[in-house]
Structure 1
Amino acid sequence: MSRAFVNEDAGKDRPDLPDLPLSAHPNFVTPRGLADLRARLAARQGELAALRARAERLDKLPEAAAERDIRWLEARIASAIPVDPARHDLTEVAFGLRVTVADEDGRETTYEIVGEDESDATRGRIAPHSPLARALMGARVGDEVTWPRPAGALSLEILSIAHADDPTA
């Protein structure tokens, strides 16, 4: 028989999608970040169950994508290193704390150092391995730190340190 008539994909009932990359950094998480990962996992598992319950299942790509996402979320949860920010005193900037800084022009900005999966620049949440977080970690109120940015270094003064759930901060 000619090779032209052999279906090499026979028996393959779902597409293979490459796994999502896992970070090489330690997976520190806040309690909120861990809860969010667990909620995302539960939601994706629910979506997968709904996809598998479809009457028409010719397109297996959505199922494969959900399975891939579930594997990634399970790996992130398994590698999580929970850190309770409430255990930190507020003498220096640490993981899970909120810090307010002033730049050279006096503009104030507040950042929260959170886990990589929880980081969101639009909400002022930064990952602990980012250049800004590395510059802030260990600093105390009144200290001046240098944030090495591609646009040029920026000097920041630490104005306050608070717990993230503190509404007065």
Structure 2
Amino acid sequence: MSRAFVKESDGEEALPERPVGPERNLVTRRGLALIEAEIAILRDALAVATAAGDRSAVARASRDLRYWTRRRASAEPIDPPLPADGEPAKVSFGARVTVEDENGRQRSYRLVGADEAEPASGRIAWFAPVARALIGREVGDEVTLPGGTAEIVAIDVTPEPT
């Protein structure tokens, strides 16, 4: 084969694009602020890498900046709906819900967007199985979760500070 048709390699592998899931990109106000902060950080990192001539860092920052820019463009900021007077709060996107299992153990979850999910701190993606089991429920409802049955004991629809 002629060398004219072989791409020269500089020894660097092309970075794969970061995948974007098929779910709607619902975000809390806090989540939107986190995305915008990440974009600012990556723009700075790209400028520094470009000035330094660090091709690997430029590739990483460029790829991540493309991802977060797409996430910002598709973001749908949503606040939890406030219940009408006399109506009970329902579990919805952005709400914090506290459940109590049969042993009296309580756990709290805040239903958030995919990019802001942190299960260890109780922030779960709105499309996760636990979140799906909770959405639309009210205080006093019993739900079946992966760890067993639990009762919803509190719902807070106050948005998190940004």
Asked whether the two chains share a fold, i.e. TM above 0.5, the reply is yes
Give the TM-score normalised by structure 1.
0.83
Q: Establish whether residue 155 from structure 1 lines up as the match of residue 149 from structure 2.
A: yes
After superposition, the Cα gap between the structure-2 partners of 1:6 and 1:92, relative to the gap in structure 1 and judged at 3 Å, is same
Q: Aligned partners of 1:116 and 1:6: how far apart in 2?
A: 45
Q: Aligned partners of 1:123 and 1:11: how far apart in 2?
A: 44
What is the identity, as a one-letter code, of the residue corresponding to 1:77? Answer: R
Correspondence list, 1:1-169, <5 A: 3=2, 8-10=6-8, 16-54=14-52, 57=53, 59-85=54-80, 87-89=81-83, 91-147=89-145, 149=146, 154-162=148-156, 163-165=158-160
Q: Aligned partners of 1:34 and 1:117: how far apart in 2?
A: 10
Instruction: Please tell me whether the aligned partners of residues 88 and 94 of structure 1 are also in contact (alpha carbons under 8 angstroms).
Output: no
What is the identity, as a one-letter code, of the residue corresponding to 2:79? Answer: D
Fraction of identical pairs, as percent: 40
Instruction: Please tell me whether the aligned partners of residues 27 and 80 of structure 1 are also in contact (alpha carbons under 8 angstroms).
Output: yes
Q: Which moved more, 1:36-45 or 1:155-164?
A: 155-164
The alignment yields a C-alpha RMSD, in angstroms, of: 2.3
- CA deviation after TM superposition for structure 1 residue 88, in Å: 2.8
Give per-residue Cα distances to partners, 1:92-122, cap 9 Å, x unaligned: 1010010111011110111100011000011
SS of 2:31's equivalent in the other structure is: helix
- CA deviation after TM superposition for structure 1 residue 9, in Å: 3.5
Q: Aligned partners of 2:64 and 2:12: how far apart in 1?
A: 15
What is the identity, as a one-letter code, of the residue corresponding to 1:33? Answer: G
Q: Aligned partners of 2:20 and 2:160: how far apart in 1?
A: 29
Instruction: Please tell me whether the aligned partners of residues 15 and 64 of structure 1 are also in contact (alpha carbons under 8 angstroms).
Output: no
Give per-residue Cα distances to partners, 1:18-72, cap 9 Å, x unaligned: 1110011111000100110010011011000011111xx2x51111111000000
Q: Aligned partners of 1:107 and 1:116: how far apart in 2?
A: 26
After superposition, the Cα gap between the structure-2 partners of 1:16 and 1:165, relative to the gap in structure 1 and judged at 3 Å, is closer
Q: Aligned partners of 2:4 and 2:121: how far apart in 1?
A: 54
Q: Aligned partners of 2:61 and 2:30: how far apart in 1?
A: 23
Query: Once superposed, which parts of structure 1, at least 4 consecutive aligned residues long, lie more than 6 Å away?
Result: 11-14
Unaligned 5+ segments in structure 1 are none
- Paired residue total: 156
Q: Aligned partners of 1:157 and 1:116: how far apart in 2?
A: 25
Give the TM-score normalised by structure 2.
0.87
